[in-house]
Structure 1
Amino acid sequence: MDQETEFDTAAAVTRSMLGWGVVAGPFYLVVGLVLALTRDGFDFSRHPLSVLMLGDLGWMQTANLALSGLMVLVAGVGMARAHARGTGIAVGIYGVAMMASAVFPPDPMPGFPPGQDGATTPGTSGILHLAFGGVGFVSLAVAALLLGGWFARRGEGRAAVWSRVAGVVVLVGFVGGVALGPSGMAGLWLAVVVGFAWLLLASLRLYRTVPHPEVARR
């Protein structure tokens, strides 16, 4: 095949997969925020987006979580194909954990669904939801730390720093948020927002390392 018309399908697929890492976070947050603003009883200072899985319209947040998790999983495969194997595996685990969390709704929280006055006894579904969430956030933090090392080995000191800082923030935010309960909700929000921001930036950065699919444009 002539070099002027040669097309690298593998590079095109990898770039496409990494593109989902850019889309996943904004998609999840925008859909989640729209639902949060339109569902009675939701309080940003006391509730995580996951409680929107409860109630008559809970299927919308369930679908949001599952679809976003699938996007994250695809992005993880793309990262592994872009030679950041450890990071890609960890991101893939995060995506699988998100989809698993979508299968098991959380327990009701005070104030949500509307009419819920107090905390309930933890149920099996709620425990599994929290467990998968823990696996997911720890995996995401590990992914950021691993990518920080990958950047450092390439001599990209600034990128290594922001990736590692993001990993620490995600881990501390999640652990602190769970440990403090409703009063630690800011930590959970921080972990979610920083985690998806890292995924977006990391996907963009790795996208640039993949050769252009059209060989003549390399």
Structure 2
Amino acid sequence: MTTNDVTIPAAGVSTRALLTAGVVAGPLYVAVWLGQAFTRDGFDITRHPASLLANGGPGWIQTTNFVVSGLLSIAAAVGLRRTLTGRGRTWAPRLVTAYGVGLLLAAILPADPAAGFPVGTPADYAEISTRGMGHFVAGSIGFSGLIAACLVVAAHYRSIGNRALARFSTITGILFFAAFAGLSAGAGSRPTIIAFDLAVTLAWTWLTIICANKRRTA
């Protein structure tokens, strides 16, 4: 099946199933992330971003989490392409796809160890390898797509008179942009890590709600 510029093997998959993928992507990602955050030795959710979980022996769990959530997000984009009408119909699916691609790239290019994690890493260790720089680029691609998708979907909902979801989409995009900018500028300070964790949870909640809303009429 072809979704504008992106070819995705979704032929034969129902629209409801594709949107269901978007509904479950966020809760699954957050559950796996938090399950690791509170069980991995040395991980502090107020100091370490989720990406660091891809390091160490159990790092494959977070890598798999990135892959699965990325594929589910791309499936959601196909479902949105089938159900969106009017404003946002073209660009919203493309931008959600960019978010999914960013997650897949984050799995291929994991973040460098940092801030004492995994155990044995110096607390002041902050070197950035080529791989680590690639991870930052992957995040920039994915998060830029997500932010833009929120704003495009907001325009879509305004065009069809759904003010509540238009406002929610706009707020999500603005807050996520602020949190990502703060993380990039804050050099890993606790307030910026916490704010970004909350923004990630909000963004996944947004995707769940949007896909659930479109699934009702699919």
**Fold-level similarity (TM above 0.5):** yes
1:119 counterpart (113, 125, 146): 125
What is the CA distance between 1:11 and its match in structure 2?
10
Whether the 8 Å contact between 1:79 and 1:203 is mirrored in structure 2 is yes
Supply the AA of the counterpart residue of 2:79: G
For 1:85 and 1:145, locate their aligned partners in 2 and report how far apart those are by CA, in whole Å. 13
- The alignment's C-alpha RMSD in Å is 1.5
Counterparts of 1:85-96 in structure 2, within 5 Å, are 85-96=90-101
Q: Which residue of 2 is the match for residue 42 of structure 1?
A: 43
Q: Which residue of 2 is the match for residue 162 of structure 1?
A: 168
2:140 counterpart (134, 137, 140): 134
For 1:181 and 1:62, locate their aligned partners in 2 and report how far apart those are by CA, in whole Å. 23
Runs of 4 or more above 2 Å deviation: none
For 2:77 and 2:163, locate their aligned partners in 1 and report how far apart those are by CA, in whole Å. 23
For 2:173 and 2:27, locate their aligned partners in 1 and report how far apart those are by CA, in whole Å. 19
For 2:202 and 2:33, locate their aligned partners in 1 and report how far apart those are by CA, in whole Å. 16
For 2:158 and 2:51, locate their aligned partners in 1 and report how far apart those are by CA, in whole Å. 35
Q: Which residue of 2 is the match for residue 171 of structure 1?
A: 177
Unmatched segments (≥5 aa) in structure 1: 1-9, 211-218
What is the CA distance between 1:208 and its match in structure 2?
2.1
For 1:121 and 1:154, locate their aligned partners in 2 and report how far apart those are by CA, in whole Å. 48
SS of the aligned residue for 1:18 comes to helix
Q: How many residues align?
A: 201
Whether the 8 Å contact between 1:97 and 1:136 is mirrored in structure 2 is yes
For 2:80 and 2:138, locate their aligned partners in 1 and report how far apart those are by CA, in whole Å. 22
54 and 11 in structure 1: CA distance in 2 versus 1, 3 angstrom threshold = closer
**TM-score of the two chains, using structure 1 as the length reference:** 0.88
For 2:153 and 2:214, locate their aligned partners in 1 and report how far apart those are by CA, in whole Å. 10
What is the CA distance between 1:12 and its match in structure 2?
7.1
For 1:147 and 1:74, locate their aligned partners in 2 and report how far apart those are by CA, in whole Å. 17
1:207 correspondence with 2:204:
no
What is the CA distance between 1:164 and its match in structure 2?
0.8
For 2:14 and 2:148, locate their aligned partners in 1 and report how far apart those are by CA, in whole Å. 25
Residue identity over aligned pairs, in percent, reads 37
Whether the 8 Å contact between 1:24 and 1:71 is mirrored in structure 2 is yes
Whether the 8 Å contact between 1:46 and 1:185 is mirrored in structure 2 is yes
207 and 55 in structure 1: CA distance in 2 versus 1, 3 angstrom threshold = same
1:188 counterpart (187, 191, 196): 196
For 2:15 and 2:193, locate their aligned partners in 1 and report how far apart those are by CA, in whole Å. 36
1:97 correspondence with 2:102:
yes
Unmatched segments (≥5 aa) in structure 2: 1-10
What is the CA distance between 1:205 and its match in structure 2?
1.1
Whether the 8 Å contact between 1:48 and 1:189 is mirrored in structure 2 is yes
1:16 correspondence with 2:17:
yes
For 2:138 and 2:102, locate their aligned partners in 1 and report how far apart those are by CA, in whole Å. 5
Whether the 8 Å contact between 1:65 and 1:99 is mirrored in structure 2 is yes
Whether the 8 Å contact between 1:65 and 1:102 is mirrored in structure 2 is yes
Q: Which residue of 2 is the match for residue 33 of structure 1?
A: 34
24 and 126 in structure 1: CA distance in 2 versus 1, 3 angstrom threshold = same
